[in-house]
Amino acid sequence: MDALLELLSPERIQAIGISFTGFLTVWVSRQAAQVRQLRGEVTELKSGRIKDQGVIKASVKYIRALGVHNGVLTGLLRHHAPHVEIPAEPVMPEVLREEV
């Protein structure tokens, strides 16, 4: 019984509490640093996504313009050189067809 009372002495309980508090402080500090790092990465990814969306929109507009231009050139070729065989238009992938 005396050994149990020694283990539960106020000084020992206080020492355990202090060491546990120190451990929690270190752990929370490390978690805060990781959260800061991850927030920075998320911000970077969001800005990259916005830039990529702009590039994709510009690409879609350019592809549409090329399609119109190709149609005009095909019409001119049929009109001015009807005997020339026009190559088949390449098939656009389904993924791009949805975007364009």
Q: Is the pLDDT of residue 25 over 70?
A: yes
Output the pLDDT for position 92.
78
pTM of the model: 0.54
Of the candidates 13, 10, 31, the residue with the CA atom closest to the CA atom of residue 21 = 13
Residues 6+ apart with CB under 8 A from 20: none
With cut-offs at 50, 70 and 90, classify the pLDDT of residue 100.
Answer: low
Residue written as token pair 């500090």: 29
The ranges assigned to domains in the chain are 2-99
Ramachandran assignment for 84, one of left (phi > 0), alpha (psi -120 to 50 degrees), beta (any other): beta
Q: What is the Cα–Cα distance from 46 to 40, expressed in whole angstroms?
A: 10
Q: Which of 6-20, 35-49, 83-97 has the highest mean pLDDT?
A: 35-49
Q: Could you report the per-residue pLDDT of 33-83, keeping only the tens digit for each? A: 999 999 999 999 999 998 888 888 888 888 888 888 988 988 888 888 888
